Structures are given as C-alpha cells and as structure tokens.
Structure 1
Amino acid sequence: MGELVEYLIQNDPSFRRARLPALYSDFRTQKSLNPDGYTANVTAWRSALARLAWNGQISDISTAASPSSPSSSQRLVLDCDAKLPARLESRQFGRPLALGTVIRDSLDNGALFPLQDFLGRQESIYHTSGGWSSVPWRAAVWAARQLGLGAPSATREDTIPKGRFVVLANVEKAAASVAEAIAARRSDSRFERTFTRRDFVRELLVDNHSVPPLSGTDMDVLLRFLEREKGLVAGDERTVRIRGGADASEEPTITTEDEAVAELRALMADLRHQTALLGSRVDELTAEAKAAVAAGRGSSHATALALLRRKRVAEDALKRRGAALAQLEDVAGKLEQARDQAQMVRVMESSAGALATLNREVGGVARVEGAVEALREQVAETDEVARILEEDAAASGAEAVDEAEVDAELRAMELAEQEREAEEMQKRLDEAGIVPSETVAARKEEEKEEKEKEAQKNRPLTPTTEAAERLMEMVLGETP
C-alpha cells in the first residue's frame, strides 16, 4: 500500500506532504466548524480521484483484464466499494477517514453521477442543480439517511457508498478533445460522417493522443454525453454519426441507412488495408525471387519458382480485393448520389410550397395588373399636379417684378459708382497737390449739360416743343 499516495504527491499539487495529515483525518466536523477547510479537503480528494481515474491508476480489479495495464482501466467511471480506502492507504497516516463523505458530497454537487442514471437520463445533466439526477435515486438516498445509512455522524465510521459513478470532470475533458477532432474533420457529406463504433473509436480517439485508451463502459458514457449534452453525435450500440451537416432535415437518431453506410465504409476500409498488405507482400516476394535467382546456387532455382508461385497467388488475391473495392466504391457513390437527389427533391418540394404561398399572397395576374395600372394613374396625377404648381409659381414671379423699379435701382447703382470713382480721383489729386479748377469746372459743366439732355429726353413732346427743337438743330447746324 501507499503507491497511489506517492503518485498523488508527485502529480497532484493539492497533495503536498504537509497537507496529508489533514486530508487523511476525519474532517467531517469541519463542515460546521471550519467550512473553508472542509471544502478545501473535499475538493482536493475529488481532484485526486479524477486524476487517478484519468491516468488509469485506479479501476475495478474484478472487471479489468490486467490491473497493471492502463489500457484495461476505466478512465471516466469510478468503482466505489469497501476496497477503495485500502487502495488509497498511506503507510504513515493509514486510510482516509472521510473518503465516504467526499464521495457523497461529490454526488450531491454533481461531480459524480450514478452510472445507470447517467446513461438512462433523457434530459441534460446540467438542467438540474447538484447530483440529484432522478427521483428514484433521490428517494433512495433520502430513505437511506432516514434509516441511518446515509451520511454518518461524526461519532460513527465514515462508510463508502458502493456503486459505479461517472466522473464528470473526466467526461468533460474527453468530450472537449473529441469535439476538437470532430471540428477538424467536419463535412457536409453524411456518408463521410457515419462510422461503425469501432471506426469512430479508431479515427477520433485512438489517433487522438490527448485522450487515453477508453474501456467499453467509458465509450458508452462519452457517446451519451456527446449526444445528449453536446448534440455532436447520434449513436447506438453499433453505429455513430457526426451531426451538424448542411441537411437541416437530418434525423436525430441512427437510421437503417446509417447502419448500411457504416458497414459499407468499414468494409471498404478493411479492403483498402488488405490491398495495401497484399501489394507490400507482392513487392517482397518479387525482391526475394530476384535475390534467389542472383544467388545462382542449386536450390535457388526451386526457391525462385516457389516465391514466384506465391507472388502469383498474392497478385490474384490483390486483383480480387481491388475489384471488390472498386465495386464497393461504386455503390458508395450511388448511395451519395441517391441521398443528394432525395435532398434535392425535398428542397424542390419545400420551394414549391413557398412559391405557392407567395403566389397566393400576390393574388394572381389580375391583381398585379390592377396594382400596376393604379400605380401608373397615381404617378401621372402626381406629375400633373407638379406641372400646375410650377406654372403657377412662374406666373406669380412674373407679376411680382416691376421693371421701372428695377431700372431706377440700376441708375442709382451707376450714379453711386460714378460718385465713388470721382471721390477716388479727387483723393489722388489732393494727394498730388494739384487743383485743376478748370478741369473740375469743365467736368461739372459737362455733367450739367448731360443732366439737362436727359431731362429733355424724358419730357413729353408737344407740337410747340418739337418745332422749337427742330429750329434749334437747324441753327446749330449752320453755325461754323
């Protein structure tokens, strides 16, 4: 005894040598006196049991083919009986005195589950709090405690609950690794996602080095968890199908088609393996025959003939295996084609139904024509209203403009500009010190004459004024 304790000391940080006295003591009374210490001890033992099971250090000897062989150990299921404390015994501190309390606390908190309850449960284990997973189990535990068989008091010996319990931490670890492997090889082809149970284990577990070898019971537990809690697979005793393809109508359970596909894929895999072996055997026999011929001794001829005969037999077997494999591959192609056609027909049926619904909502050709005609009328009416409003706006704008006011404003702007230019000129002359009085007087005289002419133009013409203007022009014209 003591090997498992030494293993835990070397591999589990919670099992330091300084903590062993507390872990192996009867710490049941600490639940009320020192809750933190009690929780720390229970958590340490819970982790230790999960670690021992995962690494194949503890398993049911009665069911294991070889207790010392890790491959025959259960990794996800813990077998609890009266022998368990003895197997965890320490040379210095003896047997753990509160191990039964640890197991019962793990059951209450959902860290452990009764095996049969785990496999037979329909709803997720995460839907209810704690490890009370079914009414019969809860009732049995309650009755046992009422009779004094449940959680012992601090004055009685701590008994070990007997049974087979699923270690949830280990199941979650294995499921996470398998989920990664499934994601890495995800395919929309249902044919590629269907396996026999043996092939599923070989392709997603044996080749997955992060998961140790699992027993048959472990596989039952893992597949049930992947199916119920993760929704990643559908499976039964012989067939496993990875879920999540593009076909939304894919059945949630294994069908006869899945079983046929799984067997077909398994047979094809076996034939490929056989053809590979036979091909290697033919190459080996050919090389041996050539070596016998090259030796050139008396028995070499007979040896070469025997090797060539065996080579021919291997070649015939290889040819037959190759023909069978080709036939199976053709059948597999037909199966995939038939499934694609069936899916296409389902899509066409659903599309036809959707189109019929939409056509009913449209109301037929007459309703569409009426809607289009009504739309055209409304568009034409809208355009007519816009045209009338534009014409009215244009007419209103023309009436509002007074041309006389516009001309007066323009003349005022021109006079202002002339005055500004005169002021600038006067300013420049003042700066130069020149006062051209004659020039200024002449300019003023010219401006006066221009104003008088402008006034005369604007005055209404009468016969008298018209005759006077003509006489004036004649006089001016005769003046030299």
Structure 2
Amino acid sequence: MGPFKEVPQFKESRLASLYSDFAHLKEINPEGYRANLDAWLAVFQAALRCHTFHSSIVLPGAELPRAFRNTTHGVPRLLALSLDEHIRAGALVPWSIYKHHAVKSVRRAWDYLSPRKVADDVLGTYRVLLYRSDASMAVDAYIDWSLLVSVGDALYAQLRRALEDDPRLSALLFDELLFGDRLRAFHPALFDTDVLVLLVYYSRDTGRIGTATDPADSTKTYLRFGDATPLSDAEIAAARVKSAAHRVQKRIELLDMRFVELGDTARLLARAGASKHRLRNILVRKSALKKSLATASATHTQLIQILEKIDEAKSNVDLLGTLISAKSGLALLNEQISLADVDDVTAALDQEMALTGEISDVLMVSSGIDDDEIETELRALERETAKTLERKTESQAVSESGEPESAKCEEESAKPKESAPATESAEKDLHHKKYESAKVPVNTVSESKISPQINSQSEDEELLHDLIEKLKNVTIDSTQPLLKPNPHNSEPELKNQSLLA
C-alpha cells in the first residue's frame, strides 16, 4: 500500500470512489468531490514524505500512474484532474512553469509565498499531461509548495549554521553538484530535481544565494551562499577552482576504487591458476591506474593550494578594507577635537577643581565651630601656662636657697618606701626636675633676673630677698652637681651642706 497507509481517508470502503471518475460529484455532491481531492493531495504528500519517488519535494508525473495503480481498481481515472485542481488551488506548482516564472514576493498572514501569484495566464492554460501522446512532449513534474517551503527553510538554516563559523571565501561558493552534495549531507533523500527546485527557490524567490553563469561554459552555474548579489569575477574564479578540485576528487575516488578492484582480481586469478598473459594485462592496467591516481592526486593538491591562496588574498583585501575604513573613521573623530580646546578644557577643569577645594575648606572651617568654647579653652591654656611658669620659678628659687628643699628631702627620705608605692615614680620625676634645675651655676644668677619674678609673689618677697643676699656670698663649684644620689634613699641629697646654714 505504500503511502496509502498514512492516509486515513484511503479506507477499503472508499477506494472505489477514489479510483473512479468522480467528476460528476462536483455538481451533485461538492463535499464528496472536495473530500476525494483532499484525499489524493494527502496521498501525494505522504508519498513525498516516504520518499516513494526518491524525492522529497517534487512529484514525478511520469511515475504517478504506476505508483498509484491498484490491483483491484487499476489506475486512478481522475489522477490528472486531481493534479489540475490542486495546481489551481496553489498546493502544487508545475516545475516547467516554476523554473521560468517567479513567484511574486507577497506574503499573506495565513499563507507562505503563494504560488497563485505565478502568472495567471500561464496557469490558466496549463493542463496536466500524464501520458505522452507525442514523442516530443515530456511529462512534467509537480512541486508540493508547502513541502518546498518547510524543507527549504530548514535546510537553509542548517547550512547557515554549518558555514557561519568558516571565514573562507571558498566555503560559501558552490557549483550545482557541490551544492547538491552539501544539501544531501543534511537531507539524504533529495533527488536531483529537488536540488534544482531549491536553487530556484533560494536564488529567485527568497534571495538567499547569488548565482552566476560560467563565462566559458554557459551550462555551468556557480552560486554564493547567503547573498543574492551577482558573483564577482574573483568569486567566479574561486568557484571554478573549487568545482575543478571537486571533480578531480571524484575522479581520485573512482580511480582508487578501480585500483583496489584490479588488485583483488589479480589475486583471485592467480589463485585460480589463470595464465600469465591475463595476469600481466591486469597488472599493466593496475600500474596505469596507479600513475593516473598519482597524477590526479598531484592535480588535486595543486588546485587546493590555489584555492587557499585565493582565500588568503580575499582575507588580505578584507583586512586592508577594514584598515582603510578604520583610518577614515579615526580621522573623522580626530577632526572633532582640537588641541587648543583640550588645553582650554584642562585649564578650566583645574580652576574649577581648585575652587571646589577652597569652597570645601570654607565649609569645613565655618561649620560646627563654637567660639565661646574656643575662648574658654584658650583662657584655661593661659592659666595652665602661668601656673607652670610659677612652679618652675619657685622650684628654681628654692633650689638656689637650699633650705626648704633640704628639709623636704630629709622628710621624704625618712618615709618608708612601701608607704607610698603609687607616688614613688611621680616623686622621682619631681626631684629629677629639681636636680636638673640645680645644675645651673649659682654665681651666674643675678638679682636683676630673679627679682622681677620674686616681686610678683607678695607673700614670699622678704624670704626670697634674704636668700638672694646669702647666695651672693656663697661660692659653689659649677663643675659639680648640687645634689648627689643617696644610696640608702631614693631622694637625692645636697652635696654642699653650706647652703643649709
């Protein structure tokens, strides 16, 4: 049954009607007439999907009667009428018309590119011919439009993904044989007519490939994938070299297969005891094939090298064009900038940044400052400075007189060390300061320098005056310290005891 198994309408109970002359149903039973036509279209499409005719897109008209012949009902009587009706409905397109008349680029929301847009006058006079009535008349083929669009778009997407990562010029160039082989790598069940139909669909109807005829051979067509513009002379030359290399590669495969076959034949004949003359002839042919194979391999290598150089040259041209374009773009951008403007902008930025810093400084100084607090802290600092100066003056005067300091030293030395461990370091610091003050030579002290400071202290004025008078009559060795350490006491003692008299 073949494709009939996939079509539910082709039941045994309906075969008699489907194979009969049901043209009269068009008037008396339009629904039955349309049901029979739809059933035959479903069978046509099922046959293409099953590759009944070794094709996926095109129905070969000459094979249809034989393929659909039924042992009981014979050949379908209205097979030609069914094809005609579907051609007028736009489901099928005759190949003889499609390859010469373009389908206009009109898309409808509910349809693909519609084959109804093919010239109406051509389709209006077209009639399906399934049998040759004249030797000069050829039977046509019929394109299933929905399958052409679906298969064609899917194959194009697969081929584009395969080629998009290959930057070589030659990767996008084909002849008809190369293009067919490349498509069959994704869809093995493509007939030669399918490839031709796809070439027309891609180049003319969808603008996905560009084509050019070989100037030296009008029967050869070259194409470039992905661009509908005509091929340049360089692209035609590259496509010609690639096509020649492909043909040589096919020849190498054939020669290699024949070379292996002759070797196998020679071994079989030798085992069978064949004559030397026969074996010699086979070996001579094998030797000739070996030379031909070597020549073909060298030719193929040379063609591939030429093709690689063409790709390299095209890459160099593209690179140079990119550099020229980049240079032009860079020049245009640089023209929009002058060095004077850059200097002015830089200077202005420096000024503005400096102004910003000044403003920030002003804001930081003027914000969060209490003048009263500063004045209070300043007065406290002045009082502390005055007290420090006063204590220093008193300490110096006492050290020079010797009496109070000696009594204090004796009193401190009489105290046990453990009675005031917390203040021991503080007392050491105090006596150390007194010790340093005592190093000043007494004979260099004058009344004029001390008296102003002593006069400021009213309560000790008379005592200080007496001390000064005594100091004037005392001679002290300035090279020796006034105080010396006491090994039994942490407090130093006066070396010159005459100061205590």
Q: Is the 8 A contact 2:209 2:228 kept in 1?
A: no
Equivalenced residue count is 352
C-alpha contact 2:103 2:115 (8 A) present in aligned 1:
no
- State the Cα distance separating 1:121 from its structure 2 match: 2.0
2:195 is the alignment partner of 1:219: yes
How big is each residue's C-alpha offset from its partner over 1:51-109, in whole Å with a ceiling of 9 and x where there is no partner? 3466676xxxxxxxxxxxx46x89525759xx98997789569966797478446634x
* Residue number in structure 2 paired with 1:137: 120
Q: Distance in 1 between matches of 2:174 and 2:342?
A: 54
Whether 1:364 and 2:338 are equivalent positions in the alignment is yes
Question: 1: distance between equivalents of 2:57 and 2:334?
Answer: 60
Residue identity opposite 1:222 in structure 2: L
Which of 367, 371, 374 is equivalent to 1:393? 367
Q: Give the letter aligned to residue 214 of structure 1.
A: D
Cα displacement (A) at 1:393: 0.8
Structure-1 residue corresponding to 2:236: 259
TM-score by length of 2: 0.55
Partner of 1:471: none
Give distance in 1, aligned partners of 2:15 and 2:371: 108
Alignment of 1:219-368 (within 5 A): 219-228=195-204, 231-236=207-212, 238-241=220-223, 243-244=225-226, 252-276=229-253, 278=255, 312-360=287-335, 362-368=336-342
The reply to whether residue 45 of structure 1 matches residue 40 of structure 2 is yes
Q: 1 CA distance for matches of 2:98 and 2:16?
A: 35
- Measure the CA separation in 2 of the matches of 1:292 and 1:139: 63
Instruction: Report the secondary structure of 1:166's partner residue.
Output: strand
Counterpart in 1 of 2:58?
A: 76
**Distance in 2 separating the partners of 1:175 and 1:87:** 27
Distance apart, 1:167 and its partner CA = 1.8
Per the alignment, residue 190 of structure 1 pairs with: 169
CA distance in 1, matches of 2:6, 2:15: 14
Q: How big is the shift at 1:178?
A: 2.9
Consecutive unaligned residues of structure 2, counting only runs of 5 or more, are 128-138, 214-219, 378-458, 460-501
Q: TM-score, normalised by structure 1?
A: 0.57
Aligned partner of 2:145 in structure 1 is 168
Corresponding residue SS for 1:253:
coil
Q: What amino acid sits opposite 2:92 in the alignment?
A: L
Query: Who is 1:154 aligned against?
Result: none
Q: How far apart are the structure 2 equivalents of 1:336 and 1:21?
A: 63
Displacement after TM superposition at 1:127 (Å) = 5.4
Q: 1:86 to 1:172 in 2, by over 3 A?
A: closer
- Residue identity in the other structure for 2:345: A
Q: Identity, % of aligned pairs?
A: 18
Aligned partners of 1:340, 1:326: CA distance in 2, in Å? 21
Change (3 A) 1:386 1:233: same
Cα shift readout 1:4-25 (whole Å, capped 9, x = no counterpart)? xx55533422322344467564
Which structure's CA Rg is the greater one? 2
Deviation track 1:440-464 (CA, whole Å, cap 9, x = no partner) reads xxxxxxxxxxxxxxxxxxxxxxxxx
For 2:421, the equivalent position in structure 1 comes to none
Equivalent residue letter for 1:10: K
Give, in angstroms, the shift of residue 309 of structure 1: 5.5
1:199 to 157, 169, 178: 178
Partner of 2:351: 377
**Counterpart amino acid of residue 112 in structure 1:** L
For residue 235 of structure 1, give the secondary structure of its aligned residue in structure 2. Answer: strand
State the partner residue of 1:111.
Answer: 91
> Could you say what secondary structure the match of 2:170 adopts?
coil
Cα deviation for residue 343 of structure 1 reads 1.0
Gaps of 5+ in 1: 1-5, 58-69, 151-161, 245-249, 405-466, 468-480
Is the Cα–Cα contact under 8 Å of residues 74 and 214 in structure 1 kept in the other structure?
Answer: no
Deviation for aligned residue 1:340: 0.4
Matched, 1:179 2:177: no
Does structure 2 conserve the Cα–Cα contact (< 8 Å) formed by 1:194 and 1:258?
A: yes
SS at match of 1:120: coil
Deviations 1:113-144 (A, max 9, x none): 4543565326435359654305x416985xx8
Q: What one-letter code is carried by the residue in structure 1 that aligns with 2:26?
A: R
For residues 233 and 69 of structure 2, what CA distance do their matches in structure 1 show?
Answer: 48
> Is the 8 Å Cα contact of residues 194 and 242 (structure 1) preserved in structure 2?
yes
Residue type at the aligned position of 1:317:
S
The amino acid across from 1:343 in the alignment is: D
Q: Do structure 1's residue 124 and structure 2's residue 105 form an aligned pair?
A: yes
Structure 1 residue 319, shift from structure 2 partner: 3.6
Are the structure 2 counterparts of residues 306 and 88 from structure 1 closer, same or farther at C-alpha, using a change threshold of 3 Å?
closer
Q: CA deviation at 1:200?
A: 1.7
Quickly say closer, same or farther: Cα 1:93–1:335, change in 2 above 3 A. Answer: closer
Give the direction of change, closer, same or farther, for the CA distance of 1:281–1:74 in structure 2 (3 Å limit). closer
Partner Cα distance (1:306, 1:44) in 2:
61
Q: Is the 8 A contact 2:44 2:59 kept in 1?
A: no
Per-residue deviation, residues 194-235 of structure 1 (Å, max 9, x unmatched) = 121112223322x555424233xx433211223355554333
